[in-house]
Structure 1
Amino acid sequence: MTAPGTMTAKPPLALSAASFVSTFDRFAVTPMLVLIAAGLGAPLAATVSVASGYFLAYGVSQAAWGVLSDRYGRIRIMRLTLLGAAAAGVVSALAPELTSLIVARIAAGACFGAIIPTSLTYVGDTVAQQQRQQALSRLVGLMAIGTALATALSGALADLVHWRAVFVLPALLAVPCSFALRGLPEPKLPEVTSLRTHVTAVLRNRWALVVFGLAFVEGGVLLGTMTFLASALQHHGVEATAAGLATAGYGIGVWAFSALLRLVSQRWPVWLLIVVGGAQMCAGYVIVTAHVDITTVVISTLLLGGGWSFMHSSLQTWATSVAPTARGTAVSMFASALFGGSAASAAVGGLLVEDGQYPLLFGATAAVGAVLTTVAALARHRYRP
């Protein structure tokens, strides 16, 4: 068993690799929605369900994975779900029409949904509180590489080979990741005498509910709306490869700003980190509200990456400590809220983009982001453990 505080601020390679693959799979679909719609002869608004269904399953499943990881172990859950995700990825690549593809992506999202929150929980279990945000920011930085490669490579693969090939790649990588995780020790698990009692203890925690609510809105503002940046470019005549490369700026932004976060996180109060992240996020959407082209989308995605690094990592770290006796459950509920919000936002956004109403979508998101930033900063300033 691994005792709390025994791991360094540098996450294990196997954990980082699994997180990388999960992140790659989650972001790979973004530049492909238009190509999938054309390839399957389906309307774009319906094809968006390939992404929104994945996000919803990714989010909703995480509460269950959190409870199961508290009961049966972090490593065991990650190893099994990686194998399930690999199978779902292969089925996705073979899906003959839109409905079966949506079902396969929902299954993939549900399985890959276990990886990120369980990885974060593993860090929370094994890294001391004073080093935890740095460890999490390193993990987020590695995930950012997966994000950048997913958005850059998926558009190119879809253009040069086929969009089905994009689903095969993370499926192939998930299998060795599952086997590599065997080398990590299980941390000491909390006592789970009753699953109902365990979940209820989190849901009765007022601050936990506040963090979950903030995560839901953040997921909608950041992840849900960001899905449409590539399709906005394609709406203006940009090829999928170029659109994917432009939106790869998000991953670069997360990586670069995560490095900056590690320098300032020990000196700045958390509420200020949230304000800085929220300001970047809002600015990113204001830019593409005014005009959409490759330059504005690159700038926007870089800023959104900064928003994720500063705001999301702060909320994420908060989630690892708000209910320490049920950390796996709390972190997974946080992630469920995040991706539930992203699925809701993607579904609503799909209705707007079908009519080309991208300025309305991005402008409304910027306004909601400003409210989110204000509420999140005030709540974190008032929080007392």
Structure 2
Amino acid sequence: MSTVAVPPGPTRPPVPVSLAAFVSSFDRFAISPLIVLVAADLGATLTQALTIASSYFLAYGISQPVWGVLSDRIGRIPLMKATLIAAAAAGVVATFAPTLTILVIARALSGAFYGAIVPTSMTYVGDTVAEAHRQPALTDLMAAIAVGTASATALAGVLAHFADWRIVFAIPAVLAVGCVFGLRRLREPAREEQIGVFSTLQAAVTNRWVLIVISLAFVEGAVVLGVLTLLAPALQSQGVGAAVAGLATAAYGVGVIITSRMVKVLSRRLSMPRLMVIGGAATVIGFAVLTVHLSTLTVIIAALLLGATWSFQHSSLQTWATAVLPRARGTVVALFAGCLFAGSALGTSVGGALGDNDQWTLLFAMTGLVALGLTFTIVISRRTFAGPRNG
């Protein structure tokens, strides 16, 4: 009986790439426990302060096609180094922003520049890791991102409560500069021969499966990342302090770290659609728990379950995105990330409006129903794409 040889090569992302993804994640999620404090300090309403998060997510999302094209044209490592430097500069402006307007602009710029890091690091893994090892490698990358998420939500709340919320924006700016030096040691991976910019975009946006995958990412972004941002404000609306709210939300990162180890083992035994079912079920259960009762304990439970969603469902979608159109991988992954965070901006905006009216139960119930429909659609779509042998 003949066996299929596993292609040689790397089986996990390089440490500097994982560190850059960590910093990007830290910057992105640090805002959640700060929103109420920023609103009070700058004399804004919750809805106005939430524009700090929604503008970040929107800029993160709409910048993705640009980063995807540049990633395919100038290379993964040069792009990450340049955008990390620019993001650090925007972080300095955010640290000293005297008004909400300047803070929103600085955070939007941070989102735009940090938006290059995670999709480009995913693409780097797609370029350097064989498909047989790719989902476990992407899971390792997601674990680094999860550590950034957990560190941000936990540390941001504590620093804001006991010191000053402005310090939180300075930390990733300093770390970003350090990452640039680490990335200098990496070699640019070989890429497939490039076609023109317009042809690359056209190939991506006219491919049926690319459109399906990025549309699913948009809805997932609204359901998971958009509403995740509101967990800390939801707790604070119940009188819970920023430090406790941040620590409770940090359970999301802990959930990703724990369940990402499970995915590495189970991905060898279960098909991708089955992994997606596990992740989708975790989403639905998490929001059902919040619908029944909103408290510190239920937020911790829901955040842990959303971490499982990210490990099982999102890592599967990510892996699918890296393989659906290899000759335009950078562009496809960037479109994927763009739709993910455009959806996040929508979820935060709509959810914030409901939260401003203290309609948290309605928000969580609606999100759970959307998550149920999303899971069904993701699983059916992947089964259709893979065919009966991989179902």
Task: Give the structure-2-normalised TM-score.
Answer: 0.96
- Asked if the contact 2:12–2:125 (Cα under 8 Å) also holds between the matched residues in 1, the reply is no
Cα offsets for 1:161-213 (capped at 9, x unmatched): 11111000000000010121011110113333421111000111111110001
Cα offsets for 1:70-120 (capped at 9, x unmatched): 000000000000000000001001111111110000000000000000000
Partners of 2:351 and 2:84 in 1: how far apart? Answer: 30
Q: Is 2:199 the partner of 1:160?
A: no
**Which residue does the alignment assign to 1:44?**
46
> Where does 1:12-91 land on structure 2 (aligned, <5 Å)?
12-91=14-93
- Asked if the contact 1:323–1:330 (Cα under 8 Å) also holds between the matched residues in 2, the reply is yes
Aligned pairs, how many? 381
Partners of 2:238 and 2:61 in 1: how far apart? Answer: 31
Q: Is 2:331 the partner of 1:329?
A: yes
Please, which of 366, 369, 376 is the counterpart of residue 367 of structure 1?
369
**Which residue does the alignment assign to 1:221?**
223
Partners of 1:111 and 1:325 in 2: how far apart? Answer: 24
Partners of 1:132 and 1:384 in 2: how far apart? Answer: 16
Gaps of 5+ in 2: 1-6
**Which residue does the alignment assign to 2:205?**
203
Cα offsets for 1:120-139 (capped at 9, x unmatched): 00000000000000100011
- Asked if the contact 2:12–2:129 (Cα under 8 Å) also holds between the matched residues in 1, the reply is no
Partners of 1:277 and 1:154 in 2: how far apart? Answer: 27
**Which residue does the alignment assign to 2:4?**
none
Identity of aligned residues (%): 52
- Asked if the contact 1:252–1:302 (Cα under 8 Å) also holds between the matched residues in 2, the reply is yes
> CA 1:113 to 1:324, structure 2 compared with 1: closer, same or farther past 3 Å?
same
**Which residue does the alignment assign to 2:306?**
304
- Asked if the contact 1:79–1:178 (Cα under 8 Å) also holds between the matched residues in 2, the reply is yes
Q: What secondary structure sits across from 1:307 in the alignment?
A: helix
Partners of 1:356 and 1:79 in 2: how far apart? Answer: 42
Q: Which residue identity is paired with 2:214?
A: F
> Where does 1:145-294 land on structure 2 (aligned, <5 Å)?
145-294=147-296
Q: Which residue identity is paired with 1:227?
A: T
Partners of 1:144 and 1:137 in 2: how far apart? Answer: 10
**Which residue does the alignment assign to 1:346?**
348
Q: What secondary structure sits across from 1:134 in the alignment?
A: helix
Q: Which residue identity is paired with 1:32?
A: L
- Asked if the contact 2:222–2:340 (Cα under 8 Å) also holds between the matched residues in 1, the reply is yes
- Asked if the contact 1:67–1:329 (Cα under 8 Å) also holds between the matched residues in 2, the reply is yes
Task: Give the structure-1-normalised TM-score.
Answer: 0.98
Partners of 1:188 and 1:312 in 2: how far apart? Answer: 26
- Asked if the contact 1:6–1:126 (Cα under 8 Å) also holds between the matched residues in 2, the reply is no
Partners of 1:114 and 1:200 in 2: how far apart? Answer: 21
Cα offsets for 1:246-294 (capped at 9, x unmatched): 0010000001000000010011011111111000011111111111111
Cα offsets for 1:298-322 (capped at 9, x unmatched): 0010000001100000000000000
Cα distance, 1:7 vs structure 2? 4.1
- Asked if the contact 1:234–1:240 (Cα under 8 Å) also holds between the matched residues in 2, the reply is yes
**Which stretch has the larger CA shift, 137-146 or 110-119?**
137-146
Cα distance, 1:350 vs structure 2? 1.4
- Asked if the contact 1:253–1:303 (Cα under 8 Å) also holds between the matched residues in 2, the reply is yes
- Asked if the contact 1:52–1:346 (Cα under 8 Å) also holds between the matched residues in 2, the reply is yes
Q: Which residue identity is paired with 1:238?
A: V
Partners of 1:223 and 1:347 in 2: how far apart? Answer: 12
Partners of 2:109 and 2:193 in 1: how far apart? Answer: 30
